Structure 1
């Protein structure tokens, strides 16, 4: 009697990329909309990070625009110092982004274990991140959420920018007015509503540099109102013995980064840009051409034999997840498309036509991307306008609006699920949308920061912003991460404040 063997058929790689093209390995990160896990691309055996985002949760939390925007911006980038997008696709439940895998963990992970990082190592990270920032700024992209959580190390110890969820394009003569980022890292020009360009990323780099060197941030407070006042009106708080373990050049560099006036802040276009930045005495021993080519041996090499991620994420999925990730239909079925078009079914709630409309738009706008097929993928760059495009040949607003139907958001108020100081607060009359950001970059969730995003602030007094930001109980910023359950330490990131 003969034996029969069942052999797994190999997937075809000549069509669009799908989940079945990847071996699913361990989970290394978790966010409110999905997770991040290590995957192996079957065609090449190369390892990547797979970020998968639940469509329904994204829509219900009004995070569709941010998610589409992140995928759009990442298609434009390809740098040695950015976590680059390699594939993007979707199935009926999830949006997928396949990114460069950084096995060294994020700087938050290492800072929490080391408490402080030696000056030579910090200088190396700052130099590499400055190259990444200059690269995206040349593309007219501002990151807006630079912090240790969003700086990842590869297995060799090189630093990379990650998490472009609230990044955006900017254009000369059109300053941005959005309140966006993590408050402890926000530049004064954001909080004072002056309008800003890429200068804010250099301020954030200053806060990161300070935090890595001293283990604390330069501006500390017990409430948001006090923190805003400190950033706008006070000088950084240096340790009394700072000069004992940071050089004079290092302290001078910090002072120039944490300058409130953008005209004198090192790194900004107004102060001379990258030339002035790179010529600072702190970097006198760096050959920038070698650095850009990654020819330097990093001063710290992560131990990749031990985990640089939070292992609990993998255990939670194994034991508790009732919907573990598995291959599903990569395209929306014809019958489902027909039912959706006719309005017979609502894939989100079964009731709300606005959510149905938004999911249709999401599925149409989230295009397939395959970096191995530069002439064949569905591209935002070839088929869609960037958010802001600095060109005289751009399609008109009416042309773009004809391509993308306008979505009317529901009128109901969505309240934050965090403790308020009093129930009589005027904030009850303010529409606050809770957008829980899925961070692929940070695998420890005690980042002690809160992100804010608001698209339009014209006509709103600064005091109104302060009033909103100070309605929540906030624990001490520095000393007890586990006690912080509101604005500063919550794993839930607020990306949008509607006034």
Structure 2
């Protein structure tokens, strides 16, 4: 009879989603104040990636509006080539994102391992990512941080866009805040004269160039040198470019890396830019009719027998974690919360994709106000980038490490944390 009190409480799967609904599996990522691990839903047995963010650290690093902004944007988004939100909830210590699980690793991981990728493979990724960008732009969202680190492969080799931490809705008014990773920033961002969704197509061009040739098209030893290269240097090709990329492929790269946004591939209004890209000779081998249904076999299939991420995260979790994640019942008394904690409590709302319709908070989430300071945070960055000379600023303020580094993006990946440099 004495053991009766130790029996686990039954799980209410019909109630609001919480951590008790999941089995916690291996840890696969680590960041400034959160981690990513594989989880399995106890009822459906489906696997997901769980990103969890420590509330206290989030408040300390003044990233509360960013986390709420990302949570709201992800609820709106649902596309086959995006890492989609499936559940969102919180407990007393953490905010949780449950996302599509990507077991194939990110393209930074594969680029560093292979040196470069075959043109056929990159063309397939560009087709999939252009579909994702066209969808986002159609619902007035620009990503602002497209780079190999934020492109994840599923186990079959399909590419997915992730990390919406500095994504933002756009309207007719152009944005002026500098945000993103400098090596992939479009020249109009650096010019600070205003920009719109055209910047994502430039970033796609930088990614495609880097994946094919193993180096970025514009480089510099310092942020100032890099800025000058992006803004002024002519586009150059490696000496062996014709061995790695066909002439139609170079035409697409050149079109995406056009400094004049009005002439850049993908940028014609009302979706015509995307259609123009689809009609280009380089994409002739792509069956656009079946692309989004993922019926095609990707040219590159990740090795399922190997871990396509940094396996040291799991060892750190076992040996060094002093407060390992576990499901805990919520405290009943929530009266003594700080303003920031109260903001998360009220605005990081629960979401269950099987019970709720996706919705948009736009335009109400354009400027999420900090309840502690009474000022708008804008879309401040939160994730340090991997390549050297990465930059994350907004409205003239340099931001370092507000949120999650590589391991903590929206699904499985592994990358090193790099300190950021102030940019003026």
Contact 2:104 2:156 in 1 (8 A): yes
Partner deviation per Cα, 1:428-476 (whole Å, 9 max, x = no partner): xxxxx996538xxxxxx8444624131x46xxxxxxx9xx89xxxxxxx
2:383 — aligned with what?
437
Residues 78 and 190 of structure 1, relative CA distance in 2, 3 Å threshold: same
Confirm or deny that 1:408 pairs with 2:373. yes
Confirm or deny that 1:338 pairs with 2:265. no
Contact 1:72 1:386 in 2 (8 A): no
Residues 156 and 7 of structure 1, relative CA distance in 2, 3 Å threshold: farther
Say which of 349, 353, 359 aligns to 1:367: 349
Partner SS, residue 334 of structure 1: coil
Contact 1:108 1:447 in 2 (8 A): no
Q: Distance in 2 between matches of 1:140 and 1:446?
A: 27
Partner SS, residue 79 of structure 1: coil
Q: Which has the higher contact order (CA 8 A, sep 6+)?
A: 2
2:365 — aligned with what?
387
The TM-score with structure 2 as length reference comes to 0.88
Confirm or deny that 1:226 pairs with 2:225. yes
Contact 1:185 1:204 in 2 (8 A): yes
Confirm or deny that 1:113 pairs with 2:113. yes
Q: Distance in 1 between matches of 2:294 and 2:381?
A: 36
Partner SS, residue 339 of structure 1: coil
Q: Distance in 2 between matches of 1:165 and 1:435?
A: 7
Partner deviation per Cα, 1:322-344 (whole Å, 9 max, x = no partner): 01101123x4x332x2233xxxx
1:479 — aligned with what?
none
Contact 2:175 2:196 in 1 (8 A): yes
Contact 2:52 2:94 in 1 (8 A): yes
Partner SS, residue 75 of structure 2: helix
Confirm or deny that 1:491 pairs with 2:404. no
Q: Which runs of 5+ in 2 are unaligned?
A: 400-415
Q: Distance in 2 between matches of 1:220 and 1:295?
A: 38
2:403 — aligned with what?
none
Alpha-carbon shift at residue 305 of structure 1 (Å): 1.8
Give 4+ residue runs of structure 1 displaced > 2 Å after superposition. 3-10, 269-272, 379-382, 384-388, 404-407, 433-438, 445-451, 489-494
Partner deviation per Cα, 1:161-184 (whole Å, 9 max, x = no partner): 10000000001x201111011000
2:253 — aligned with what?
254
2:138 — aligned with what?
138
1:59 — aligned with what?
59
Say which of 387, 393, 400 aligns to 1:453: 393
Q: Distance in 2 between matches of 1:261 and 1:85?
A: 34
Q: Distance in 2 between matches of 1:75 and 1:449?
A: 32
1:238 — aligned with what?
237
Q: Distance in 1 between matches of 2:148 and 2:264?
A: 20
Contact 1:86 1:100 in 2 (8 A): yes
The TM-score with structure 1 as length reference comes to 0.75
Partner SS, residue 53 of structure 1: strand
Q: Distance in 2 between matches of 1:435 and 1:230?
A: 23
Q: Distance in 2 between matches of 1:148 and 1:435?
A: 17
Confirm or deny that 1:13 pairs with 2:9. no
**If you compute each CA radius of gyration, which structure gives the higher value, 1 or 2?**
1
Alpha-carbon shift at residue 18 of structure 1 (Å): 0.8
Partner SS, residue 335 of structure 2: helix
Partner SS, residue 336 of structure 2: helix
Q: Distance in 2 between matches of 1:358 and 1:109?
A: 36
Q: Distance in 2 between matches of 1:57 and 1:223?
A: 31
Alpha-carbon shift at residue 407 of structure 1 (Å): 3.5
Query: Over aligned residues, Cα RMSD in angstroms?
Result: 2.8
Partner deviation per Cα, 1:58-81 (whole Å, 9 max, x = no partner): 111111111111111000011101
1:29 — aligned with what?
29
* Superposed counterparts of 1:190-201, under 5 Å: 190-201=189-200
1:182 — aligned with what?
181
Residues 380 and 57 of structure 1, relative CA distance in 2, 3 Å threshold: farther
2:68 — aligned with what?
68
Residues 25 and 279 of structure 1, relative CA distance in 2, 3 Å threshold: same
